[in-house]
Structure 1
Amino acid sequence: MQRWSALSATGKDVVIAVVWFAVGSLLYLAGFHMLFISSDGPSTPLAPRFALLAMVCAVLLVRRRAPITAMVVGLVPLAFDLMLGPTLPVWLVYSDLIYAAVVYGTRRQMQGAVVAWLTLSATAAGVVLAMTENWRLMVLALIIAAAFVGTSLWWGLTVRAHMETAAAERARRRALTQVAELDRRAAVADERKAMARDLHDVIAGHLSAIALQSEAALAGLNGNSTDSRLTGILTAIRSNSVEGLQEMRTMIGLLRRDDDAAETTAPGRLAQLTGLVAVARQAGMRVRVRQDTDGYPVAGAVDQAAYRIIQEAVTNAMKHAPGQEVDIEVHAETETLVLTVRNPLPARDAAPHVPADTAEPRGLTNMRERTAALGGTFRSGPESGYWRVQARLPLAAAPQPVGEPL
């Protein structure tokens, strides 16, 4: 199995063609190749049969790269085989070409192949009935069509559906992984900025006070002190506090740096909402966005919190209602920024986001805390068959003291 997976598409087609030719050859040599046994006239020599089998097997070499072309070209040896008397090997190989057209063709090509073969099969059965006036032969023609055409179409459609489902699931998993990674990186960046603010407000404030007080003490002495040790101690205190402030400034700058965030972390701003929408659409969600904040200045803290709230709500929708529609509405009123995210509830659960037997999920708690930190209001819950998240944030965030700027 591992060796088969390691083969290229062309290599796999070569193996399939060789195997089909070997199986067909065995059927010819064993005499189990005729679809209809007739006692009228001599049977066709095997040499032309092997030639037709080789032709249709050669067409298999392009069954993945050009499935529709292979199916059409394969009609030539199939027609000659039909004129000489239909044989099982050629028809089996050609049924693989029908299967390949359904699996590897584009969606439009697949639909065309299915409609064409169903129409052709029904027409062939009608022609048999009109020419022979024997309904038994018509039923036999339908059975042969079902065996060689119907089975290939059914199996190809089943395999294609599984392939498309697997591809959609992989895309959704990649999108969810990307969203989780962006969320983790944003959380780390927020934590670093919080640490920088704490260092600035507490430690830097104390160091500044020490520097100022030691400077004042030195100025008060004004060279009148007879104790040189006291002057030296005050000078050392001031020097160390100033150097500490310089080092603290460097540390705070490092903590506030995003490093490679420009490349790996989506900026937490409403201006980058299109990136979040693109990720959700890659996961199979149908997202509609209505945004109207023109003419209303949005404070930086409110802008970041609004983006994070929408990101959390969309992530919840991707987890609990995959493949559904998500409506995002952002509009500004006189002094308020209103965020609304709505998606249909899954039929199996009236409120999948908040299980009745557990506490409020962490995602909803984060959104509620972000809203409360800015003095806004937050609501979430089922509403008329939809899960609705709404946050109302003040356009101008309340200023927070950060101490003396460094």
Structure 2
Amino acid sequence: MVLTSPARRRRLSVRETDLAVALVVSAVVAVWTLLQMRSGDEPPGRALIGWGLIALGCGALYFRRRRPVAVGVITLLTSCVYYPVSVTDGPLMTTFAVALYTLAAEGRFTASVALASATLLAVGYGELRQDSGHRQIDDTSLVMLTGWLISLVAVGRAQRTRAAYLHEAEQRALAAEREQEARARQSATEERLRIARELHDVLGHSISLINVQSSAVLHRLGKKPEPPVALAAAEEALEAVKATSKEALRELRGTLGVLRQADEAAPTAPTSGLDRLGELVERARSTGIAVGVRTEGGGRPLPPPVDLAAYRIVQESLTNVTRHSGALSALVTIIHGATDIRVRIEDDGRGADTGTGTGHAANARQGPRTGPRTEPGTGPTDSGIRGMAERAKAFGGELTARNTPGGFRVEARLPLAPPTTGPPAASSPDTGPPQALTD
């Protein structure tokens, strides 16, 4: 089966329409001419020439939209020859009228005006050469012919303008529809990325803590301690796993709440924020890392989105500390400014490894805990830090992650209001170039 494109079907439709118009005009001209021939006596030679001109003029209308100028000239010339030669004045001029209208409707306005003017000049010149009392067209008929030709050009021009307007309106509608679809796709993509980032932060943090806690108790049980000691260690680990998994489920329900149906109740669990920082730090301490908290400034509530972003950055940073750093201690610093909030997480573990292919400067701390901070493709320089950087960028802020002489530092700045143009803030002095993660 052969499939034709819409453009091909449209071209066939145009040709069929032109053929129909040519056949209708031919039938009208032929019938009208036959009726007039019954009342007159025309020599066979002139009749043959007249019918030949009728066939030429009517047949040319089939090509009226593909060759509008040529068809207009041909129909005008056939009419100019037909009326002086033929005794029977049939309505062959109709072919020129159709061709003149088509010429204007196809956008050939100058050519249509030129042919109409040439027609009037030719008729006027022919009437001037006639002897007095033998004119074929009187003044009234000449005025009517002028108005007739002007009307054909004007109507064709109006049709052209209308077609152009409809085409432009259709194109605008299509462009608006495409833009709406693009915006819908972009909104859906952004929403998917936001949900993915939330799930990564929630599940990544909690599962990492569960993994560290389980590994620690398995390590202790592997040393074959006394049953009471083993039972106490297992109980402590299970309590920590229970608390961590409960918190993970709470966070997960809150995140998935954005997917609820319109008639479902909104989640009633409190939204995560810096007011829950103590619980987050306690969970990190349960892995054996001494985590401290220091707060500077404050005194006013944060916008909920900024509060959540700051909490997630601390959460992901502590996840990286427990999973990759081998640190013994970490410090979380929250600095409330007049126009922004700064979050800094420092640890005394191993620095970032340049072997991960992430482009970090490797200023790893020298000491007994040697070796890379991360494993390829799993460290804080991959999706975790990228997610934190995206959170900061969404609020017009920035995030940097760098090695320090004593370990590793993640620092983020989150404006409390939309960003304004101004000089960049000076970075704090440190060893090694920072990696700006704002993209």
Structure (1/2) with the larger helix percentage? 1
Q: Taking structure 2 as the reference length, what is the TM-score of the superposition?
A: 0.46
Bigger Rg, which one: 2
